[in-house]
Amino acid sequence: MTDAASEPLEIPQLYLITPSEFELSTYPDLLARALDDVDVACVRLALATKDESRIAKAADACRSVTHDRDVALVIESHILMVERLGLDGVHLLDGARSVRNVRKELGDDAIIGTFCGNSRHDGLNAGEIGADYVSFGPAGVTELGDGRQAEAELFDWWSQVVEVPIVAEGALDADIIRTLAPFTDFFAIGDEIWSQDDPIAALKTLYSAFE
């Protein structure tokens, strides 16, 4: 992923998150349409299943789509599957705790990002020990989780103080995207579109708010 935070912020980039469950017979084509219609910087494979065979098949299908379009593909949590499946990196869910060890395991070329909730402390630590990006969220209001939200102030402060790229995710809508766009490098969009009748149209609507 581009180190957008080291330069004056321009239009944020799109970071697409797959559904937690999808049909291998149909989803790769839908993903391909999304990547062809909208400029995407990275895709995260974020399946809920713990079935290694299913994850591997899904990764193969998504990798074919993303790599044909020069889009990076990272996997959520499953560190040991990155090299075996030919993926570009991993998205961690435990803040700064695993970053150092994962960097040693995967090497300098792998993309390593991590979700830090709304914790500046975790985000700073993760960036200092080798994370390529830090993700904060949920950026919108949701009844899921513990109710804590990553406020606009956090993104604004980060953009002024820290050079590590920042990702906003969780319960995003067009209004939140417009608010955060001036000081956010990437918006990670997933369930916001895949739950809609026309995911591509929903994606284009949210993407139009990036400006």
Instruction: Summarize pLDDT for 21-41 with one digit per residue, the tens.
Output: 999 999 999 999 999 999 999
Instruction: Output the pLDDT for position 144.
Output: 81
Instruction: Output the pLDDT for position 6.
Output: 42
The pairing of beta strand 72-76 with beta strand 40-45: parallel
Q: Is the pLDDT of residue 130 over 70?
A: yes
Distances (CA, A) of 32 to 37, 111, 112: 9, 22, 24
Q: Is the pLDDT of residue 125 over 60?
A: yes
Structural domains of the chain in order of their starting residue, each with its CATH number: 10-208 (3.20.20.70)
Q: For 79, phi and psi rounded to 5 degrees?
A: -60, -45
Task: State how far the Cα of 174 lies from the Cα of 48, in Å rounded to an integer.
Answer: 26
pTM for the model stands at 0.94
Q: Is the pLDDT of residue 9 over 80?
A: no
- Would you say how long the chain is, in residues? 211
Quote helix, strand, coil % in the chain, to nearest 5.
40, 20, 40
Q: Find residue 168's DSSP bridge partners.
A: 136, 187
Task: State how far the Cα of 27 lies from the Cα of 77, in Å rounded to an integer.
Answer: 21
Could you read off the pLDDT of 147-186 as tens digits, one per residue?
889 999 999 999 999 999 999 999 999 999 999 999 999 9
Instruction: Output the pLDDT for position 5.
Output: 41
Instruction: Output the pLDDT for position 145.
Output: 82
